[in-house]
């Protein structure tokens, strides 16, 4: 029997994440010539849930899950043209260290620096996170600006926060009359679907605001039965789920893979919303797919899928007041 105040199951699972590269290499049974391609030390450390590591075939690095989460020596290739530590110029949109106001009508709250996993291409991999999850100043700024009707909970990953912290957050935002919508940007259910437990669902159901979920899934291998069941629990609460993917070399840069992902998403009632061109963050240049190839991929997707299953191909340009659609540029 578990002790009375033991952490929830999802937190216990999270603590079993691989964070030690040597242990992961042993688990993946990589031969020395492939181990040599793995970066052993990095300021953006390894963080990989066991269930994702279990999806990687043994003895290979040629795998979409491996490439997304295991650091390669290519990350040390710095100075690639246009790549920087703050590719979206987020520092210039900070109202506080945790509140970004970039687009009309919505603000983004960087709720935590913690995630279920560390994606090697993350555009916030160099972000200066604030450790303490209290948002007094941010609530006041949001309350003072009636033009804002939506708050995006981002990070890191907002589902890293405890239900207690999230409840306080939702209650405080709900108390602001002009706030109508909350958007969760999360990848947690892909890595630790146990996060979507009874308590979390009850929390969502108790919120007066309209809630949207935007998940982040890049490859069909990420969407297994446990993940689908967790997402279905959210949908059964009347919440719409959108997906955004990042176009990544060696992960999802073929029409067949992307079509399979989009098909799987719509079969589960999830809208394939965006394919993002890679944000040019320092350390991720080896993931870049040229826009020309991305456009060809989208063109092929149009032939393979119904219109509603084809995501919008966009790029985020630092300083622009909306995302840039690439198909019309």
Binding stretches for ligand SF4 (CB under 6 A): 115, 117-119, 122, 124, 155-157, 187, 216
Choice between 120 and 233, CB closer to ligand SF4: 120
CB of 118 to ligand SF4, least distance (A): 5
Choice between 112 and 309, CB closer to ligand SF4: 112
CB of 224 to ligand SF4, least distance (A): 18
Choice between 124 and 255, CB closer to ligand SF4: 124
Map the chain to HEC letters. CCCCCCCCHHHHHHCCCECCHHHHHHHHCCCHHHHCCECCCCCCCCCECHHHHCCCCCCCCCCHHHHHHCCEHHHHCCCCCCCECCCCCHHHHEEECCEECCCCCEEEEECCCCCCCCCCCCCCCCCCCCCCCCCHHHHHHHHCCCCCCEEEEECCCHHHCCHHHHHHHHHHHHCCCCCCEEEEEECHHHHCHHHCCHHHHHHHHCCCCEEEEEEECCCHHHCCHHHHHHHHHHHCCCCEEEEEEECCCCCCCCHHHHHHHHHHHHHCCCEEEEEECCCCECCCHHHCCCHHHHHHHHHHHHHHCCHHHCCEEEECCCCCCCCEECCCC
Choice between 157 and 316, CB closer to ligand SF4: 157
CB of 258 to ligand SF4, least distance (A): 18
Choice between 150 and 157, CB closer to ligand SF4: 157
CB of 170 to ligand SF4, least distance (A): 20
CB of 116 to ligand SF4, least distance (A): 7
CB of 302 to ligand SF4, least distance (A): 27
Choice between 124 and 315, CB closer to ligand SF4: 124
């Amino acid at each position: 029997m578990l002790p009375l105040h033991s952490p929830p199951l999802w937190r216990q699972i999270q603590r079993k994440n691989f964070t030690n590269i040597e242990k992961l290499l042993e688990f993946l049974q990589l031969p020395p010539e492939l181990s040599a391609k793995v970066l052993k030390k990095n300021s953006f450390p390894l963080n990989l849930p066991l269930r994702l590591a279990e999806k990687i075939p043994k003895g290979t690095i040629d795998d979409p899950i491996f490439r997304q989460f295991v650091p390669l020596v290519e990350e040390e290739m710095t100075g690639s043209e246009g790549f920087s530590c703050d590719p979206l110029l987020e520092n210039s949109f900070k109202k506080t260290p945790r509140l970004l106001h970039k687009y009309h009508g919505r603000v983004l709250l960087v709720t935590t620096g913690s995630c279920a996993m560390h994606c090697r291409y993350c555009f916030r991999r160099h972000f200066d996170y604030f450790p303490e999850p209290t948002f007094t100043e941010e609530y006041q700024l949001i309350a003072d600006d009636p033009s804002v009707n939506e708050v995006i909970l981002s990070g890191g990953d907002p589902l890293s926060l405890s239900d207690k912290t999230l409840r306080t957050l939702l209650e405080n935002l709900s108390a602001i009359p002009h706030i109508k919508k909350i958007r969760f940007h999360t990848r947690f259910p892909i890595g630790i679907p146990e996060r979507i437990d009874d308590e979390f669902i009850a929390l969502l159901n108790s919120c007066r605001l309209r809630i949207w979920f935007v998940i982040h899934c890049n490859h069909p291998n990420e969407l297994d039965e446990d993940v689908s069941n967790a997402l279905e629990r959210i949908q059964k609460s009347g919440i719409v789920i959108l997906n955004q993917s990042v176009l990544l070399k060696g992960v999802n840069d073929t029409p067949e893979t992307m079509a399979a992902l989009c098909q799987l998403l719509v079969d589960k009632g999830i809208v394939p919303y965006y394919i993002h061109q890679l944000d040019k963050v320092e350390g991720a240049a080896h993931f870049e797919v040229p826009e020309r190839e991305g456009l060809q991929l989208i063109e092929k997707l149009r032939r393979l899928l119904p219109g509603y299953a084809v995501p919008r191909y966009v790029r985020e340009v630092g300083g622009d007041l909306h995302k840039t659609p690439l198909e019309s540029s």
